[in-house]
Amino acid sequence: MQRRPALSLGLAAIAAVTLTLAGCGSGESAPAGDTPGADDGYALIKDGTLTVCSDIPYPPFEFEDPSSELGYSGFDIDLLSAIAAELDLDIAVQVSGFDGLQSGTVLVAGQCDMAASAMTITDKRKANLDFSDPYYDSLQSLLVRADSGITGIGDLAGKNVGVQQGTTGEIYATEHAEGANLTQYPSDGELWPAIQAGQIDAILQDQPVNIEHERADSDYTIVEEYDTDEQYGFAFAKGEKDALREAINKALAQLRDSGEYQKIYDKYFSAE
């Protein structure tokens, strides 16, 4: 996907939970005044802790979960928690608007070590960001009311279509939804209530997110899917986190080999 907002959401530092004992240090205490994380090899903003920014909510990839020690769950969150465990790091999550993540401004500002936010790898984003190896293949889709009479993108002329600002869904709608009135929203947290309230006639966005809405309310249905050859990646400030990115790529490969990746994937995407 690629999603979300230009909304100036205040970054809310959210609870960090220890997943494993941090074991990256050399055993020597860093002298006072040293950059945080300078002795862990990954240039972390907080020694021993992987600080992750994410645009929440965006189920099933990230959403609030009071039952979780982190306060959040979702495919991205669970996968990155497993990766952090492989690296003997704690993990902390900060909520950030998607537009600031996909543009790279939040990462360059040093507010987090990386972004995990269902972000599609694109050439435009690569100009400002470094990406991990792909970890998820995605489609776009069109969600409407089941009784709307809309059967596909060709029926959208004159209709109000909601998209998330700064996302590949917005790009696809701009290029293919001829005659539609596109309305930008900062996140799915505003898109879903808008279609329920009748303010928009359709949502064009990442397929897994629309599937969640379709499952939650039978009054809504996906009428079309669009194969856009999209892959998600974890994002890093350009040229600043090479060691961390390489370590995460290695851990991701290990989780695939061990079968742990598949277990996390099946938890969120297995057919019912």
3-state SS of 69-92?
CCCEECHHHHHHHHHHHHCCCEEE
pLDDT given for residue 271 in this prediction? 53
pLDDT the model gives residue 33:
34
All domains of the chain in start order, with CATH = 12-135+233-269 (3.40.190.10), 138-229 (3.40.190.10)
The four Cα atoms 219, 67, 94, 130 give a dihedral, to 10 degrees, of: -70
Neighbours of 223 (CB within 10 A): 16
The single-letter code of the amino acid at 216 is: A
Instruction: Give the residue ranges of DSSP H helices in the chain.
Output: 75-86, 98-102, 105-108, 123-126, 168-176, 188-196, 207-216, 242-258, 260-269
Residue 60 preceded by cis peptide, ω within 30: yes
162, amino acid identity: G
What is residue 30's predicted lDDT score, i.e. its pLDDT? 34
Q: Which amino acid is at 177?
A: A
Q: Which of 80, 99, 100 is nearest to 90 (CA)?
A: 80
- The structure tokens 């669970």 sit at 78
Which residues fall within 8 angstroms of residue 115, CB to CB, at 6 or more apart? 52, 53, 54, 96, 101, 106, 107, 234, 235, 236
Separation CA 200–CA 268 (nearest Å): 28
Q: Look at phi and psi of residue 121 and say left if phi exceeds 0, alpha if psi is from -120 to 50, else beta.
A: beta
Q: What is the pLDDT along the chain (272 residues), one digit of tens a residue?
A: 544 433 333 333 333 333 333 333 333 333 333 344 444 689 999 999 999 999 999 999 999 999 999 999 999 999 999 999 999 999 999 999 999 999 999 999 999 999 999 999 999 999 999 999 999 998 999 999 999 999 999 999 999 999 999 888 999 999 999 999 999 999 899 999 999 999 999 999 999 999 999 999 999 999 999 998 999 999 999 999 999 999 999 999 999 999 999 999 999 987 54
Backbone torsions φ then ψ of 59, nearest 5 degrees = -65, 145
What is the spatial distance between Cα 156 and Cα 177, in angstroms, rounded to a whole number? Answer: 6
- pTM of the predicted model as reported, rounded to 2 decimal places: 0.73
Other Cβ atoms closer than 10 A to 144: 26
